[in-house]
Structure 1
Amino acid sequence: MENKYLVSVIIPVHNTACYLHKCVESVRNQSLKEIEIILVENMSTDNSAEICDDYAKNDSRIKVLHLPVAGLCIARNAGIDVATAPYIGFVDSDDYIGSDMFKDLYEAMVNNNADLTFCNYCYEYEDGRVELLAPNSGNNIMCVKEELLQDLMWEKKSCAVWIRLFKRELFASLRFPDGFVYEDRRNMHRWIMMCNKIVWVDKTYYYYVERTNSICHTISPENRYHYILSCFMRLDFIHEQTLFSGKELFDVQTVILRNVLLQFKQALQRVRPKKFRKELADIRKGFKHLLTYPKEEFDPRIYKRIKNIVYYWPLYYCVHFAFKKLKQ
């Protein structure tokens, strides 16, 4: 039997009851009606699970999964497993979308025989303010893959999956990494590499609701650790694909590594090394790998700091952290 859905929309749900109605209604009310809505609820302690089940009773397009384990990546992968449409999109359950988002992304996809399409997003704050982040020309723009990847590394373009529509085949060989935060930063460039055609729909459709207790706004040492690992993966990718050269390579690597060192510093200011042993070993291993890159690619001060972290760690920790904590 021919599949009746054109797009599967996966919505991971975890303790977002107060946002969930607005999110699901925005997807139900899409102008593209041939959509399958997959609510993947995992271990909520509020009434999110009940809300999901109520929606499934009243809309035949809605499918609900209740998972016994928590995790955004686990939820997204479970949704992919049961999705039946040829194209897959994602919405976070505390956000919402404009009514034409999936119609425009789908039409841009099929009209251009694309593998991936994406739109713009904006921030919506708790006081109701909306901050637009893109020009919104209304045009569909065919992307040059290398330029898009460069913009991604410079943070000029978002790596978020929730502004994108994917051809389902992209998930055949690369899924979301279980147990990691900043999963989009780890994978988006690799999905882009698999694409032949990518279209940017220059319209704002996704409303990212800023709330202080969301996963990525909880700046724990563990979250900083995951962020640092995602940066290491990006640096490896930059070198594998020769995305930059000369001064541009020096500049982009400097920006990324300054951010890595800042996150590293802030993580260690908030945790004792004994409780951060595995994470610390992984980070130092990543730094050691960076030293295999040509020295001239580094800012000399950054290179020196990385070398000290790798080879003189006890002394480095005492000078930069332990002694300072004693003085406080």
Structure 2
Amino acid sequence: MSLNLSWPAATMRAVVYHGTPFEMMVQDVAKPAILNETDVVVRVTTSAVCGSDLHIYRGYMGGAVPWTMGHEAVGYISEIGDAVSSFAVGDYVIIPDTVSEDHLEMEPRSKEYFGFGNSEMGLGGLQAEYARVPFAEANLIPIPLTHETANSTIERDYLTVSDIFATGWAGIDYTGFEPGDSVAVFGAGPVGLLSAYSAILRGASKVYVVDHVKERLDLAASIGGIPINFADKDPVAQILASEPDGVMRAVDCVGMEALNSSLEMNESIITQQMVDVTHFKGGMGQLGVYRS
């Protein structure tokens, strides 16, 4: 018999996408329940918005509508299945963006995403009051918080581990990075900034960050990155002026909504620019999402 620390209501509030670009709704939906003995239900206390959510919001990707949005969250366990022994009701956890039957690893054999509307496991989204997490012991990440110590500021410190920071860090891994390497990060959104920060933390010699939004480039400079504004001048020329042989590593943190210098969409431009700025026998990593 599963333990329960949740409100008795059969519905909850959630952000729902109905298939109309640029339109999201907050509405009542069915509250998740334990379906299998390896499940837990988490009371979501902090959630985030990802660039992937923006692709859906703008109508570029997604599954069969409607579905609940979001795939990054922190919360505490409110219900627990009979086969779950590593967690208890009340434990605070990070919910990763993907769920797998395997233990956490870089490339699980099978995985599904929260909040994309195409889950065979019946996953909902995490921009909701509650979420069911299958195979909880293989997927949830415990964090040292309690009801007495948790607050929104502390939870945000853990929240990016769910996806944004973990993804940015993995993007550097994908390039074959070694300490001392020079790096170019294309895109200075949250993932791009945290990818750049990951490279800096890991000992990069220089980290160039390419974008056109001044506020983002200012943030990149504040963490030690070298800002490159592609709207002012060709970013390849700017980087090669300082790195004539190219950088050793490059990361795409933009994807399908990439823009050229005229701020017109050009889906292939980042891939070409990474090839142009990367040193012979260097490495590239792709984090940006593409349709095919």
Q: TM-score, normalised by structure 2?
A: 0.31
Q: Which has the higher helix share?
A: 1
Q: Which has the higher strand share?
A: 2
Q: TM-score, normalised by structure 1?
A: 0.28
Structure showing greater Rg: 1
Q: Could you say which structure has the greater relative contact order, defined with CA pairs below 8 angstroms and 6 or more residues apart?
A: 1
